[in-house]
C-alpha cells in the first residue's frame, strides 16, 4: 500500500470516527433534553406533593366527634396515611436525585465525545498536512 493511499485511508477512518462521535453527542443531547423535562415535571409534582403533605399533616380535626374505638381507628388510619404520604414524597425525591445523577453522567459523556471530536479534528489536520507533503514529493 502506498504512503498516500494509507494516509487517505487513515483520514477516512478518522472522519468516520468523528461522525460516530457527533451522532453520539446528538443522541446524548436528546437524552439530556428528555431528562431535564422529566426533572422539571418531577420538581413541579414534588412541590405539589409537599403542599398536599403539609395539608395532611396540619389537618385540624375536632376530636370531640371521635371517641373510643372510632377515635383509635381514625388516628391509626390518619397516621398511616401521613406516613405513606411522607414515604411517597421521599421516593419521588429519590427519583429526582436519580435523574440529576443521570444528567451529570450524560453531561460528562457528552463532554468526552466532544473532546474526542476535537482530538480527531486535530488528527485530520495532521493527516491533511501529511497528504499534502506526500503529494509535493510525488509531483
Under CATH, which number does the domain 3-55+66-138 receive? 1.10.287.1490
Mean pLDDT of all residues in the chain?
91
The DSSP annotation for 82-130 comes to HHHHHHHHHHHHHHHHHHHHHHHHHHHHHHHHHHHHHHHHHHHHHHHHH
Delimit the domains of the chain by residue range. Answer: 3-55+66-138
Cβ 110 vs Cβ 28: under 8 Å: yes
Q: Tens digits of per-residue pLDDT, 4-23?
A: 999 999 999 999 999 999 99
Does this model's pTM top 0.85? My answer is no
Is a pLDDT exceeding 90 seen at residue 100? Answer: yes
Q: Tens digits of per-residue pLDDT, 35-44?
A: 999 999 999 9
Local structure of residue 30 (DSSP, 8 states)? H
- Tell me the C-alpha distance between 134 and 139, whole Å: 9
Amino acid at each position: 500500500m502506498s504512503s498516500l493511499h494509507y494516509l487517505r485511508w487513515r483520514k477516512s477512518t478518522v472522519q468516520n470516527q468523528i461522525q460516530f462521535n457527533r451522532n453520539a453527542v446528538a443522541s446524548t443531547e436528546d437524552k439530556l433534553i428528555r431528562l431535564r423535562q422529566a426533572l422539571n415535571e418531577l420538581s413541579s409534582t414534588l412541590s405539589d406533593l409537599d403542599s398536599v403533605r403539609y395539608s395532611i399533616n396540619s389537618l385540624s380535626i375536632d376530636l370531640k366527634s371521635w371517641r373510643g374505638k372510632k377515635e383509635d381507628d381514625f388516628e391509626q388510619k390518619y397516621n398511616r396515611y401521613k406516613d405513606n404520604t411522607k414515604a411517597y414524597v421521599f421516593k419521588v425525591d429519590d427519583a429526582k436525585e436519580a435523574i440529576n445523577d443521570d444528567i451529570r453522567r450524560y453531561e460528562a459523556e457528552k463532554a468526552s465525545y466532544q473532546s474526542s471530536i476535537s482530538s480527531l479534528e486535530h488528527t485530520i489536520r495532521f493527516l491533511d498536512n501529511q497528504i499534502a507533503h506526500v503529494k509535493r514529493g510525488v509531483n
